Structures are given as structure tokens and as C-alpha cells.
Amino acid sequence: MNDGFLGILRLALTALQNLSFAVLVGILLSERWLARYPSPWQAGASKRLAQAFRAGAIITLLSSVLAFWIHCALMSESSLIDAGPAVRSMLAETDFGQAWAIGAALMLCVAIVSFFPWNGNGFGLRPTLWLALAGFALSRSHAGHPVDAGAFSPPVWADWVHLLAISAWVGIVWVAAFMVTPRMTEAPESDHQNSASFIQSLSDTATYALVALFVTGAYNGWRGVGTPGNLLDSPYGQLLVLKLGLVMAAAVLGGHNRFFEMPRLLASLQSQSSWSARYIKRFTTVLYVESWVLAGVLVVAAVLAASPLPGTS
């Protein structure tokens, strides 16, 4: 394998890590919302979410390990098989390697805890999982461009909030689109209140995440680009514009669901209307499209993290 292929593979693994981490955040939020109204349908949904969480934790950990190994191989200009000494050197001698090791240890903790039993009221060790996921996100911020300003500088914290915000938005949309809302058509009428509560929480949380995303994204982008001219004249700035365009497209889709599809869907659920299944399918279709647009945001974010800032290449 040549460096070009390894570089592309590392970016793909980073994007996969971003997506699987977002799904973990989305599952924890979604499971909490569903657990408000215990029922057989809710129990089945929580069981599926628990299984997906375990798979997501393993995928996040493995993609992180492989991406780090490839990074070390590229930095040392060695093959993957011969990269062992470079990995040990990176872990022992660099802040990047130590930040990655802390994040990997935290994700290993998440993977282990995820195999503990889920009970009828939700996951009993949820606070432990939230702390570990927050720590993992902070380790990612310490391994990127913001750490140049200092280990616990405002840019690092802004990047941390940005990562959590985009992960929450992407995660809840993916979980809703592929694991929860399609099965709402199977829920009995007694679970319609739970369905309506879930959809309302989904929309509200996505809105809060979008606000945090724009505020921190504007701050991070201003710091990264430096001058308005770099926005279109540098590869980093062009990628940033592409990311912003994808975020705006996803926001438009989310806005369509919130202001057009959701009111009719909530009204049909609350009135036990026979039209509920139709409105659920329409709402879910928009979520499907939004989920893939947001996946594109994570891919661009992975490329941005590996790209030099304007004036530093």
C-alpha cells in the first residue's frame, strides 16, 4: 500500500469514527426519551438501541485505533507492519499520542460498560457513559488544530462543544431515521404519546445543537481561516465553505420537518388519527435525506482536521 492509499484510508476511518461516535450520543439521548413511557414497544426499541450502542462503541474504538496506527505509519514513512516503533514513540513522546491514548482508554471503558444489562428504565450507568463520551470528545479536540493555542485554551473548549453539538445532531437524526421512527408505525395507540414526546424532543434538541454548532463553528472558522481572503483562496477555507453549505442544507431539511411535517404528525398522534402512519413515513423520509447530508458534514470535518491551516502548509 502506498502513502496515498493509506492517507485516504485514514480519512475514511476518521469519518467512520465521527459517525459511530455521533450514533453513540444519539442512542443515549433517544433511549432516555423513550424510557419516559415504559411499555412493551418501548422495551423492544430500547433493546435494539442497546445492541446498536455496543456495536457503535466497538466500531468507534477500532476505527480510532486503526486511524492512529496509519497516522504513525505515515509520519514515520514506514509500512503498517513496521509501524510498531513509531506508535510507541508517538505515545511516549508526543501530546498528540497521549491525548489519543486517553481517548482510546475512555472509549474502551464505554465498550465494556455497554455490555452491562440495560434495565426497563434505561441504562443504569448512563452518567458513566456520558462522562466517558465527553472525555473522548475532549481528547479529540486536544489532538487537533485548537490545541496549538494551549491545552485548555478557549479554542479547545469551543472545539469540544462544537464536536458534541454536531455529534448530538447527527446522532439523533441517524438513530431516529434508521432505528426509531420507521417502527412507530408498528406501535399501538397507547404508545402514541411516547412517539409524540420523542419527536418533540428530537426536534428541540436538534435546534439547540444547531445553535451551538453555528456559534462555535463561526468562532473556530474565524480562527482557522484568519482573513476573509483565505476563505475562498485556500483549500482549508474552501472545505470550510463546503461544510457550511452541507450544514445549511441539513438545517433546511430539519426546518421543513419541524415547521411542516411535525405539526401534522403530532396532531395525528394526539388525536389517534388513522393518518399517523402516513405522516410518520413522510417525516422519516426527510430524516433519511437529512441523515446522509449530515454524514457528508462528518466526512468534510475529517478532511478539515487533517488539512493544514492557511499559511501553515
Residue 72 C-beta-side C-alpha neighbours within 13 Å: 25
Q: In this predicted model, what pLDDT tens digit does every residue of 224-262 receive, in sequence order?
A: 887 888 888 899 999 999 999 999 999 999 999 999 999
pLDDT band, residue 313 (cuts 50/70/90): low
10 Å CB burial of residue 82 (0-12, 13-18, 19+) is exposed
Predicted local confidence at residue 231, as pLDDT: 85
Neighbouring CB atoms inside 10 A of 8's CB total 11
Residue 119, strand partner residues: 122
Residue 4 pLDDT exceeds 90? no
Q: Where are the domains of the chain?
A: 3-305
Distance between CA atoms of residues 181 and 282, nearest Å: 10
Which residues make Cβ contacts (< 8 Å) with residue 17, sequence separation at least 6? 59, 60, 63, 64, 67
Residue 173 C-beta-side C-alpha neighbours within 13 Å: 29
Instruction: Please report, as a single letter, which amino acid is at residue 108.
Output: L
The three-class DSSP label of residue 37 is coil
Predicted TM-score (pTM) of the model is: 0.96
Q: CA torsion sign, 295 to 301 to 303 to 305? A: negative
- Are the C-beta atoms of residues 39 and 190 closer than 8 Å to each other? yes
Cell of 203: 426536534
Predicted local confidence at residue 195, as pLDDT: 95
- Are the C-beta atoms of residues 281 and 185 closer than 8 Å to each other? yes
Mean pLDDT of 286-295: 98
Q: In this predicted model, what pLDDT tens digit does every residue of 158-208 receive, in sequence order?
A: 999 999 999 999 999 999 999 999 999 999 999 999 999 999 999 999 999
Q: In this predicted model, what pLDDT tens digit does every residue of 49-80 receive, in sequence order?
A: 999 999 999 999 999 999 999 999 999 999 99
Mean pLDDT of 2-6: 76
Predicted local confidence at residue 223, as pLDDT: 87
Share of the chain above pLDDT 70, in %: 96
